[in-house]
Amino acid sequence: MASLTQLKLAMATSIFLASFIFSLFMVGIIFLLQYYVFGFDLWLGLLLTLGGIGLFILFQYLIGPAVVAATARLNYLKPGENQWLESTVKELAEKSGVPMPRLALVPDQTPNAFVFGTSAKSATLAVHEGLLRTLNKDEIRAVIAHELGHVRHRDFIVMTVLSALPLIAYMIAQFAMRAGMYSSYSRRRDREGNAGAVLLLIGVVSFIVYLITFLSVRWLSRLREHYADAYSAYLTGSPRSLASGLAKITYGLSISPKAPEGARAFYIGDPAQAKQEIREIMESKSEYDLDRDGVLDERELELAMEREAKSVWVTMNSWFATHPPTFKRILLLREIEQEMATGKYTADRVYARV
């Protein structure tokens, strides 16, 4: 039986493990570079490197929201500009006990939404125009409640900080591998032959650290989506609305001609993952088209998603995904709906099915 404490513990554990592994990794790199390549003072190099990493993470944390706002081409809503959306968000925010987020529309016809910011008080809730056009009002309410769940859990802040670590490791891996391949000298002539090999070793280790931190961040990203889904079901009292909304979002994203872009982990639906999910189903369309009419109806599509979600390939592929498979999210919401029907679903059991 899951609880919000477990999500907080998972976030804290992810931060600790990623930071601990990354710190050991950086200490090793500084030692090798100091000894074999540059010859600078070990402690000075360590201080400068860790200080630089700290500044990079702080820079991403502070500047990230501005970058997201610019790349998403947000149109911030003025009071009264969209009264229904504004009143709905205000109602759910008050019910949730979180500050009213700043509202913005994204001029994008794909159905999606996301929340970002440096704190719960400075959060921005961005809604794609395609979401308002594709989903009905109950489904939109459920999506808004999902995003407010992220605000309440404050997991979007943790994701902003953690996402910097794999990026740094990847950048170091790229630089070290290229430098190692083309390096032919070092400051110390007696170690000249070792410099290139050391840089290549650093590149390999950096890539391993990148994979570990990357998988850790992706695992937390998937977990937080389940928690936000459960919170939406609790806040709206309508798990079915979010389930149908997720199905529409996945399908809508899958047929979009646009290439996936931006910080996909922050969206309620990952465009790249949606395209992959639907493509795999359509490749086996004849197997799932039970009535042989050439079209997958709602029941056939659900059956297809259920079978695909159980495959070994999909399970392994999901390790690298930002979101859980859509059907697993829908299955969780169905379990919550069944529990609600019994009258036993209370505030202390919001995350019991996660």
The string of DSSP codes covering 312-323 is HHHHHHHTT-SS
Of residues 264 and 127, the one with the higher pLDDT is 127
58-67, 165-174, 183-192, 249-258: which has the minimum mean pLDDT? Answer: 183-192
**CA 153 to CA 146: how far, in whole Å?**
11
pLDDT at 224: 93
Query: Within a domain: residue 28?
Result: yes
What amino acid occupies position 4? L
Whether 248 shows a pLDDT value over 80: the answer reads yes
What angle separates helix 137-153 from helix 155-162, to the nearest 10 degrees? Answer: 60
* pLDDT attached to residue 210: 82
Residue 318 counted as domain residue: no
DSSP class of residue 267 equals B
Cβ(127)–Cβ(105) below 8 Å:
yes
Q: Torsion over CA of 234, 237, 240 and 243, rounded to 10 degrees? A: -30
Look at residue 268 and tell me whether its pLDDT is greater than 80: yes
Structure token digits, residue 25:
């990794």
Ramachandran area for residue 128 (φ above 0: left; ψ -120 to 50: alpha; else beta): beta
Provide the domain count of the chain. 1
Q: How confident is the model at residue 227 (pLDDT cuts 50, 70, 90)?
A: very high
> Residue 21 above 60 pLDDT?
yes
For residues 314 and 278, the answer to whether their CB atoms sit within 8 Å is no
d(C-alpha 29, C-alpha 306), whole Å? 45
pLDDT of residue 131: 96
Model pLDDT, residue 191: 47
- Copy the structure tokens of residue 17: 């493990």
Query: Does 52 reside within a domain?
Result: yes
Compute the average pLDDT of residues 112-118: 91
Give DSSP secondary structure letters for 150-161. Answer: HHHHTHHHHHHH
Bigger pLDDT: 157 or 22?
Answer: 157
Residue 345, pLDDT score: 83
Asked whether residue 75 is domain-assigned, the answer is no
CA distance 107 to 116: 17
State the amino acid at position 350 in one-letter form: V
| Residue-level pLDDT at 209 | 79
Tokens representing residue 333 in the block: 């919401």
Other C-beta atoms lying within 10 Å of the C-beta of residue 329: 26
Given a cut of 70, is residue 31 above it in pLDDT? Answer: no
What integer pLDDT is reported at residue 225 of this predicted model? 95
Mean pLDDT over 272-282 rounds to: 79
Residues 6 or more apart whose Cβ sits within 8 Å of residue 206: 25, 29, 169, 170, 172, 173, 176
Q: Would you state the torsion angle of the CA atoms of residues 74, 76, 81, 82, taken in this order, to the nearest 10 degrees?
A: 60
* Domain presence at residue 109: no
Span 239-264, average pLDDT: 83
Catalytic residues: 147
Per-residue pLDDT, 188: 46
Confidence check: pLDDT of 86 > 60: yes
Mean pLDDT of 278-294: 69
Nearest CA to 217 among 147, 321, 65?
A: 321
> What does the pLDDT read at residue 189?
45
pLDDT digits (tens, 9 = 90+) for 290-349: 666 666 665 666 677 666 666 666 666 677 888 998 888 988 999 999 999 998 888 888
With contact defined as beta carbons under 8 Å apart, do 165 and 251 qualify?
Answer: no
Give residue 38's domain range: 4-70+159-217
| Assigned domain for 21 exists | yes
Spatial separation of the C-alpha atoms in residues 264 and 261, rounded to whole Å: 7
pLDDT per residue as tens digits for the range 127-154: 999 999 999 999 999 999 999 999 999 9
Q: CA dist 52 to 2, 22, 45, 56, 241, Å?
A: 38, 14, 10, 6, 46
C-alpha triplet 165, 168, 173: angle, nearest 5°: 125
Instruction: Determine the average pLDDT of the residues in 190-197.
Output: 57
- The residue-averaged pLDDT of 195-209 equals 75
The mean predicted confidence, pLDDT, of the chain is 80
Task: Report residue 41's pLDDT band, with 50, 70 and 90 as the boundaries.
Answer: low
CA distances from 318 to 2, 262, 326 (A): 21, 19, 11
Name which of 108, 127, 143 is nearest 259 in CA terms.
108
pLDDT of residue 204: 82
* Over residues 110-116, mean pLDDT: 93
* Dist CA 258 CA 254 (whole Å): 10
